[in-house]
Amino acid sequence: MPDATALSLFIIGLLGGVHCVGMCGGIVGALSFHDDKPLIGRGVQHLSYNAGRIATYAVAGGIVGGIGQAGIFLAGRQLAPFHYLFANLMLIALGLYLMGITQFIAPIEHAGSHLWKKLQPLSRRFLPARTIAQSFTVGVIWGWLPCGLVYSALATALSAGSIPGGAYLMLAFGLGTLPNLLLAGFMATKLRAFTQRPVVRYVGGFAVLMFGVYGGFRALQKIVAWA
């Protein structure tokens, strides 16, 4: 499994975490910040929610990794370089997004709206969440919230070509999103200010872009050699 891809997804999750806070920040506040809970208790509950959310990302990554594996099995190993090329094209697009050059992820978020309409009412049964189990369950459900950033990461995880590989890549992405959401309401203001700095987003986006360009070049070499 290319470590560069996992590192890229971690960077995307970290620098795109402001987008995640915008999507999930409201539910995080509803879950974790009760006046009758001590700070440590609120922190554990918050961590449980994020563990459930990241677990969903890993499961989804395993699913798309399995789809990629099935495609390789049916079409032959020659399909693998095309998977890898597609993944790196997604990294290039995400790098440009982090650099502020494109906003391509916005239309993608509509793709999962139908599934979310069925899942969202289920989460209300566990709100307000006052136990670790309730928080984890809500996190699992909210991991399916339509998010262009998550969908783009999943498209990249397709290249893993295996269930464990896809889960691993989405785990890396999920861990990247963790700081912004874990610290939401505590000290996220400073972290958000740091990740929103143009120079930080540009450097991070450029690194992801270069990973994508390098990986795409290698994929094209393999495709040409196979042809």
Q: Is 161 left (phi over 0), alpha (psi -120 to 50) or beta?
A: left
Determine which of 29-38, 47-56, 113-122, 161-170 has the lowest per-residue pLDDT on average: 29-38
Relative orientation angle of helices 80-98 and 198-226, to the nearest 10 degrees: 160
Residue whose pair of structure tokens reads 């120079």 in the numeric block? 199
The 3-class secondary structure across 126-162, one letter per residue, is HCCCCCHHHHHHHHHHHCCCCCHHHHHHHHHHHHHCC
Total tally of structural domains belonging to the chain: 1
User: Does residue 25 fall inside a structural domain?
Assistant: yes
* Between 199 and 154, residue with greater pLDDT: 154
The closest of 101, 75, 97, 76 to 156, measured between CA atoms, is 97
Could you tell me the two tokens for 29? 């506040």
Q: Which helix (H) or strand (E) holds 31?
A: helix 17-32
The tally of CA atoms less than 13 A away on the side-chain side of residue 85 is 13
CA distance 171 to 194: 23
Q: What are phi and psi of 130, to 5 degrees?
A: -120, 0
- Do the Cβ atoms of 22 and 7 come closer than 8 Å? no
pLDDT at 215 over 70: yes
Quickly list DSSP for 171-219.
HHHHHHHHHHHHTTTTTHHHHHHHHTSHHHHHHHHHHHHHHHHHHHHHH
pLDDT at 21 over 60: no
The band of 58, judged by pLDDT with boundaries at 50, 70 and 90, is very high
User: Does residue 85 fall inside a structural domain?
Assistant: no
pLDDT at 134 over 80: yes
User: Does residue 218 fall inside a structural domain?
Assistant: no
The conformation of residue 143, written as its DSSP 8-state character, comes to: T
Q: Name the residue range of residue 70's domain.
A: 3-79+103-191
Distance of alpha carbon 74 from its chain centroid, rounded? Answer: 28
User: Does residue 86 fall inside a structural domain?
Assistant: no
Taking all residues of the chain, what is their mean pLDDT, rounded to a whole number?
76
User: Does residue 20 fall inside a structural domain?
Assistant: yes
- Do the Cβ atoms of 204 and 97 come closer than 8 Å? no
User: Does residue 175 fall inside a structural domain?
Assistant: yes
pLDDT at 159 over 90: no
pLDDT digits (tens, 9 = 90+) for 173-198: 999 988 877 766 455 455 556 666 77
* Res 68: pLDDT: 86
pLDDT at 110 over 80: no
User: Does residue 50 fall inside a structural domain?
Assistant: yes
User: Does residue 212 fall inside a structural domain?
Assistant: no
